[in-house]
A and B are shown apart, each in its own frame.
Chain A
């Protein structure tokens, strides 16, 4: 039996921390009436953290609805599919497919665009641990230039799904366009914020691509790929002006840049 009155403030703090969500109402009541102001403060902080956690779990619950519906429909292997890197002037477009076997709560899981780079890396590790299967597809600048960015994106998605160790019987694809690939699929508009599988795929694709661009920065230094990852930025434009394009630039994306440049000179 624990005697809350006899515990020091530091002990109570630790005690509360390891029992997130499991402290009985009776104990909380007792702590609220504690003579020490610092203890009462701890309880308040605990309450706030607890309600934050509850609403986060609720949000995640919502984000499993599409998967749950699919499982209810008799599908067993449901893959979320998303892409990263449609907009940059350089580097590949990367797609990822992620299959979960059951709804696991990955705290903070959300659309990769809503997250900081650090948070994405953390979630990436959690996804790799919790997911049943992950597939990745990469289409380079040649593919983007010879087809077009949309076709290249679809091809990357197809490669990602085909690369899964388990063939999915349903794919949930972010956006409103479906690749013509012979997998049963649902297009989910705004899917990276609405489905955990798609959100996970968006994070895997984004982190994979970012890491690739950091690697490519040392192969083609001077453009700042390490920082902007190939996306259009002031630094990137200035480097293009100074150095001209490098082999990983998408020629089809630079036309506009050259038009502006010719206009100015």
Chain B
């Protein structure tokens, strides 16, 4: 339950961060039987698929370490499904990751790191 909350919170924080940078939300938690895409956004004309990783401690490693080759494979598969179901007008796509460090007690965002075009 707690893990879910942190995940949700991290996604909220990442979404606000990206919107502050001028990205527009297209869809959130695009869900399929194979898994889920956290955030789908438009930066200008480019469609950006964002995987959000939130951490309140380093017990399970840095958020960045959770983006593995396997995870990327999965993302590509999900992107293919999303595009097949009809995406909004766009020019080009990109896969991004956002790492969010959260202070466990106050749920304050400590830092946000945005990795563009991860593959």
Contact = CB atoms under 8 A, between A and B. Distances in A.
Q: Do chains A and B stick together as partners? A: yes
Interface stretch (A18-26, A120-128, A178-186): A178-186
Chain B binding surface SS class: mixed
B17 interface: yes
A72 B108 CA distance: 5
Nearest to A171: B20
A74 B20 contact: no
Contacts of B106: 72
B21 A74 contact: no
A179 to B, nearest CB: 11
B20 A170 contact: yes
B8 to A, nearest CB: 15
Contacts of B112: 74
A72 B107 contact: yes
Main secondary structure of the interface of A (DSSP, over half): mixed
B111 interface: yes
A72 B20 contact: no
A186 B17 CA distance: 10
Interface in A23-76: 69, 72-74
Contact of A186 (B13, B19, B107, B111): B19
Interface of A: 69, 72-74, 170, 178, 184-186
Given A74-B109, A170-B20, 7 more contacts: A73-B13, A73-B16, A73-B109, A74-B111, A184-B21, A185-B22, A186-B20
